[in-house]
Copies of this chain bind each other. A is one copy, B any other.
Amino acid sequence: MTNDFVLLNQPLSPLAPRVGQLTTTHGKILTPAFNPVATQATVKAISSAELEDLGVSTIIANSYHLLMRPGIDLIEELGGIHSFMSWMHPIATDSGGFQIFSLGHMLQVDDDRLTFKSHIDGSLHSLTPEEAIQNQERLGVDLMMSLDQCVPFTNEIEAVQMGVRRTTLWARRCREAWSGKAMLFGIIQGGVFPEEREKSAKELVAMDFPGYAIGGLSVGEPKQSMYATLDSSCELLPINKPRHLLGVGSPEDLLEAIARGVDLFDSALPTRIARNGSLFTPEGRINILNARFKNQSGPIYPGCDCVTCTNYSTSYLHHLFKTQELLSLRLASIHNLRFILRLLEEVRVAIRANEFNAYKEAFLQTYKPTDEQTRIAQKAKWASARRG
C-alpha cells in the first residue's frame, strides 16, 4: 500500500522516539530518515549513483528553484523529476514558500498569494497555495509540503500570529487542491511561542494531513528555544502520522528532535559545511585545511565506512582542499552525508532495542557541537553569500 506510514516500535507518547516505515510509489523509507537537499534537482557535487551507495532512501528538492529553472513544464514534459534527475527512489519537495521569503524579492504577500521577483532574472511571478500544490504534483514527487508563511526568528508575537493565521489559511487551500496522489505534509508554524505552536498544530491536525512538518525552526533562534518549541509542536501531533522537521541537520539537533518523536529531516548543512572543509567526526567537526592533517595517512576518523575514507587518506583530502581541486567538494560531501546516514542507521537500531537514550547520551558525550556563536556567524556568512 502506498502513502502508508507504519510505526515499528511502540512510542509511549507523542514526544517519544520512534522507528517507522513510510511507503511511497518510489519505494520505502525507514525513519528516522535524513533527506539530502537537492535544491535544483541535484545534491551538490553528488551523483544519483553515489546517493544510492551512501544508503540514501529519500531526497528533497525545491519547487521554487525548479519553478525558476528549468520550469515545471519542462520537467513534467520529460516525465517528471525522478527521471529528470535519474533518481528512482522517493523525492520530497518543499513548497517554495521558505525560499521565496528568504531568497526572492518579495513584492506583496496577502491572503490570496505571494507576488515576487525571481532572484535570478528579476522576472515577475506569483504563487497561490493551489499552484504550490499543482507544481509539486506536476513534478511527480512522493512527498510534498503545504505552502506556509515562515517568519524569521523574532520576539514580536504579532508577526508570528500573522504567520500562523496565514499558514492555516493556506494549509486549508492546499489540502483542498491536493489530488491525493503524493503524501501531503501540513506545515506547523508559530515561532518560539509555545501557545502559537500549539494553535498551529491543532489547526493543522484538525485538517487531517497524511503528515506534518515543523517549519520556522533553525532560522536563528537559540538551540534551547528550538528544543522547547519542538516539544510544543510535537506534543499535539497524532502518534501514527509522520513528522518532518524542516531545515535541521546537525547531529546534536537530529538526536534532540528524534528524542521528541521526529521522523524526517532535511538540511543542506552536511554538504554545505563539507564544501568549506568542515568534516564530521565522532568528536565534532574538524577543519580539513588545518595543517595537522597534512600528513595524516589514515581516514578522517578510524572506522568511518564512507567511500572517501575507504579509498583516500586524510592527507590526500587536505591536499585536494589546499589546491582547490573539484574532487575535494565531492569527497567531503560524501563523508558528511555518510556520517549523518550512519548516525540514523544506528539510531533506528537503538530505538528498536529500547536503547535510544543511552545511544544519544554516549554520542553527545564525545561529540562536541559547534559553539553557538561560530554556528550563527557561519550561517550568516552563508546566507549573505547566497543572496549576493
A binding-site residues for B, Cβ under 8 Å: 40-42, 44-49, 69-70, 74, 77-79, 83-86, 294-295, 297, 311-313, 315-316, 318-320, 322-323, 325-327, 329-331
Q: Which B residue sits closest to A46, measured CB to CB?
A: B327
Q: How far is the CA of A131 from the CA of B320 in the complex (A)?
A: 25
Q: How far is the CA of A297 from the CA of B70 in the complex (A)?
A: 13
Shortest Cβ gap from A158 to chain B (Å): 38
Q: Are B49 and A319 in contact (CB under 8 A)?
A: no
Q: How far is the CA of A307 from the CA of B45 in the complex (A)?
A: 16
| A78 contacts across to B, CB distance below 8 A | 295, 297, 313, 315
User: Which listed residue (B49, B79, B294, B311) contacts A70, Cβ 8 A?
Assistant: B294
Q: Are B294 and A42 in contact (CB under 8 A)?
A: no
Q: Are B327 and A47 in contact (CB under 8 A)?
A: yes
Shortest Cβ gap from A358 to chain B (Å): 37
| 20 A–B contacts from the bound complex (CB under 8 Å) | A40-B319, A42-B320, A42-B325, A42-B327, A44-B326, A45-B326, A47-B331, A49-B311, A69-B319, A70-B318, A70-B319, A78-B297, A78-B313, A79-B297, A84-B313, A84-B315, A84-B319, A86-B311, A86-B316, A326-B329
This chain: how many copies in the complex? 2
Closest 6 CB pairs of A and B: A45-B326, A40-B323, A70-B319, A42-B327, A42-B325, A86-B311
Q: Are B74 and A315 in contact (CB under 8 A)?
A: yes
Q: Are B326 and A330 in contact (CB under 8 A)?
A: yes
| A295 contacts across to B, CB distance below 8 A | 74, 77-78
Shortest Cβ gap from A373 to chain B (Å): 30
Q: Contacts A74-B294, A311-B48, A311-B49; is A85 near B326 (CB within 8 Å)? A: no
Q: A70-B322, A74-B295, A326-B326 are in contact. List 14 more A-B contacts (CB 8 A).
A: A41-B319, A42-B325, A45-B330, A46-B327, A47-B327, A47-B331, A49-B311, A69-B322, A70-B315, A74-B294, A78-B313, A83-B313, A84-B315, A326-B329
Q: Which B residue sits closest to A315, measured CB to CB?
A: B78
| A313 contacts across to B, CB distance below 8 A | 78, 83-84
Q: How far is the CA of A169 from the CA of B134 in the complex (A)?
A: 74
Q: Are B44 and A316 in contact (CB under 8 A)?
A: no
| A294 contacts across to B, CB distance below 8 A | 70, 74
| A47 contacts across to B, CB distance below 8 A | 311, 327, 330-331
Q: Which B residue sits closest to A49, measured CB to CB?
A: B311
Q: Are A323 and B69 in contact (CB under 8 A)?
A: yes
| A322 contacts across to B, CB distance below 8 A | 69-70
Shortest Cβ gap from A171 to chain B (Å): 30
| A48 contacts across to B, CB distance below 8 A | 311
| A331 contacts across to B, CB distance below 8 A | 47
Shortest Cβ gap from A90 to chain B (Å): 19
Shortest Cβ gap from A63 to chain B (Å): 15
| A74 contacts across to B, CB distance below 8 A | 294-295, 315
Q: How far is the CA of A236 from the CA of B201 in the complex (A)?
A: 84
| A45 contacts across to B, CB distance below 8 A | 326-327, 330
Q: How far is the CA of A86 from the CA of B319 in the complex (A)?
A: 13
Interface centre among A44, A46, A86, A319 (most CB of B within 10 A): A319
